Amino acid sequence: MEEKLRAFLKNQMPAAADLSIRGLQRRPGGASRESWAFEVAWRENGKEFNRSCILRRDPTGSVMEGDQTNRSLEFRVLKALESTPVPAPKAYWLDSAGKWLERPSLIMELVGGQPTPGPTFPVGESPELRAKIGARFVTILAELHRADWQALDLAFLGAPSVGTEPAARQVDLWEMAYRNRFEVHPILEETFCWLRRNLPATDRIALVHGDYRSGNYLYDETGRITAMLDWETAHLGDPMEDLGWASMKFWNGAGLAVGLMPRAELLRRYENESGKAVDEKRVFFYEVLGNAKMAAIALTGARAFSEGTTSHMLHGIMGLLVPRLLEDLVDQLRL
Amino acid sequence: MRPDIGDFLRGVKKSLAEVVFPTLTDPFALEQSAFIMLALDHVLARWDKASHFCREENRGLRAVLAEAAARLSGEAGLPKNAVGLRDRIQDRLRKEEVEDGADRPYESLRDGNACLRELLAELVGAASGEEQNRGARAFMKKQLEREREWVRVGEFVW
């Protein structure tokens, strides 16, 4: 792997001399992409350079497939975010087809800060830190949704029209993921029927993160969120989608949305920060879709595990999460 | 005969925990080792109940589909696709009856259930009203309770 990485970086930086790689190591965490940390140093035009990097590489089998995520998209979104107030790692290099690194990969900045150990802010952390992180979590979301995606050259993501198209696109995407599933779940069949009957209309198109929750940011002890991570499912859509995803009971910690604050407070704070009204019906729709999406993701991982295309144990274990998601759907839809 | 499957699984777990895992230093491998222990706990608690679990689901699926097929048979002027679905349900139920028996292998049961689930999903999708889905929903909720219980041992809370 190190040799391949060196060859790739030499190709990307033909003028670099004495290029060296140190500490290449696969990192734990994350279910969808392989994540490797390393340091790279080189000399160029008489100057010395040193970068701490993260390599994100497509795995052989995962919880998401080509239609739901790709490295080029993530790379371009990260590049675009550099000129916004949204904290995100800098994107350095892209091997979009996996010509150099075996599978599609991107290399980005290793940002300081720690991740939460799971998708919820840890119960044991101090209330003061929780409050600070919670406030930043909402502020960053409002900043993200305020970002001018046209000016940021993000139209390549494919802007849906206002109206029901943003919701319909997401239902299509995740229903297709479910249709490639491992096994059929009649509750999910009913859920997708419900989603199609209840597509909400939006009057605003925004850059949506697609996986906005605890576990996908780094924070420090002062309560600063140093980076939002995992932009692989970013898209243009209804901003209520991120709120619905973050509101899911599945990510609750101690009764708090993503372990940070009560759901009602999350929505109220978002209204204050964004200056836009929150449409609770749309948020609810995206919560339901979120449960179905998460179930499709877990089933995709379980299939990769059972078919032997992944060696990541988490993919198998994720299959065991499906009943909890279905239980939430039964409650939400009163089935 | 001893050691049986449970004995082996406990032995594997002990050997991994006491011999193999303490030698690991790679952070990703250490994370995998925690998931392996979780998976072993799940398998240890469930391996000898898997066939019974599948059989129960098979019984429930067959009952709810037989009821649906009978209802569809009693309806006059059914659309073509509903007739097709009813016929496929009846075909599958006949196959299940032939394959049924105390010595039916686990994988045959599992695959049979997958076929029956597909038909139930189609039935749910095709139903024109709440009333027609009542039996299917009651089964789905009961099955979900069983699945929740099934994954509770050594539950992974992400």
A254 touches B: beta carbon within 8 Å:
no
Rounded CA separation A169/A178 (Å)? 14
Which residue from A25, A28, A321 is facing B158, i.e. has the nearest CB? A321
Q: Are residues A53 and A128 in the same domain?
A: no
What CATH number does residue A308 fall under? 3.90.1200.10
Q: Are residues A77 and A179 in the same domain?
A: no
Token output for B127? 């139903």
A186 touches B: beta carbon within 8 Å:
yes
Rounded CA separation A280/A277 (Å)? 9
Domain that residue A62 falls in? 2-109
Q: Are residues A186 and A269 in the same domain?
A: yes
Q: Is 0.95 topped by the overall pTM?
A: no
pLDDT, position A68: 53
Rounded CA separation A231/A249 (Å)? 22
Q: Are strands A105-109 and A217-219 parallel, antiparallel or unpaired?
A: unpaired
Q: Which region, left, alpha or beta, applies to residue B146 given φ > 0 means left and ψ of -120 to 50 means alpha?
A: alpha
Beta-carbon contacts of residue A185 (< 8 Å; ≥ 6 apart): A295, A299, A322, A326, B117, B121
- For residue A182, pLDDT over 80 is answered with no
- Residue A284 has a CB neighbour count (10 Å cut-off) of 16
Q: Are residues A158 and A177 in the same domain?
A: yes
Rounded CA separation A57/A2 (Å)? 14
Q: Are residues A69 and A124 in the same domain?
A: no
Token output for A321? 């999460």
Q: Are residues A103 and A123 in the same domain?
A: no
Domain end among A109, A134, A155: A109
Per-residue buried b or exposed e for A86-118, using 16+ beta carbons within 10 Å of the residue's own CB:
bbbbbbbbbbeeeebbeebbbbbbbbeeeebeb
Q: Are residues A118 and A102 in the same domain?
A: no
Chain B residues within an 8 Å CB radius of A323 = 144, 147-148, 150-151
Percent of chain A residues topping a pLDDT of 90: 79
| Number of alpha carbons in the 13 Å side-chain half-sphere of residue A305 | 21
Q: Are residues A14 and A78 in the same domain?
A: yes
Domain end among A77, A109, A141: A109
Chain B residues within an 8 Å CB radius of A322 = 147
CA distance B3 to chain A (A): 26
With CB atoms and an 8 Å threshold, state whether A323 touches B27: no
pLDDT, position B78: 73
Rounded CA separation B82/B84 (Å)? 5
Query: What does the DSSP assignment read for A173-233?
Result: HHHHHHHT-SS--HHHHHHHHHHHHTPPPBS--EEE-SS-STTSEEE-TTS-EEEE---TT
What CATH number does residue A54 fall under? 3.30.200.20
A26 touches B: beta carbon within 8 Å:
yes
- For residue B155, pLDDT over 90 is answered with no
Rounded CA separation A91/A55 (Å)? 10
Q: Give me the total of CB pairs closer than 8 Å, taking one residue from chain A and one from chain B.
A: 80
What ipTM, to 2 d.p.?
0.88
Taking only the tens place, the pLDDT of each residue in B31-79 is 999 999 999 999 999 999 999 999 999 999 999 999 999 988 877 777 7
pLDDT, position A63: 62
Chain B residues within an 8 Å CB radius of A184 = 114, 117-118, 120-121
pLDDT, position A102: 92
pLDDT, position A62: 61
- Share the mean pLDDT of chain B: 89
Q: Are residues A36 and A140 in the same domain?
A: no
Q: Are residues A51 and A129 in the same domain?
A: no
Domain end among A39, A74, A109: A109
How many independent structural domains does chain A possess? 2
With CB atoms and an 8 Å threshold, state whether B36 touches A313: yes
Query: How many Å is the maximal CA-CA distance in chain B?
Result: 70
Chain B residues within an 8 Å CB radius of A28 = 27-28, 30-31
pLDDT, position A165: 97
Q: Are residues A191 and A80 in the same domain?
A: no
Going by pLDDT thresholds of 50, 70 and 90, the confidence category of residue B152 is confident
Q: Are residues A43 and A58 in the same domain?
A: yes
Which residue from B26, B35, B136 is facing A25, i.e. has the nearest CB? B26
Taking only the tens place, the pLDDT of each residue in A287-330 is 999 999 999 999 999 999 999 988 889 899 889 999 999 999 99
Token output for B63? 């009952």
Taking only the tens place, the pLDDT of each residue in A15-51 is 999 999 999 999 987 777 889 999 999 999 889 999 9
A317 touches B: beta carbon within 8 Å:
yes
DSSP bridge partners of A219: A114, A225
pLDDT, position A167: 98
Which residue from B28, B144, B156 is facing A187, i.e. has the nearest CB? B144
* Cβ atoms A64, A132 nearer than 8 A: no
With CB atoms and an 8 Å threshold, state whether A317 touches B27: no
* Cβ atoms B137, B145 nearer than 8 A: no
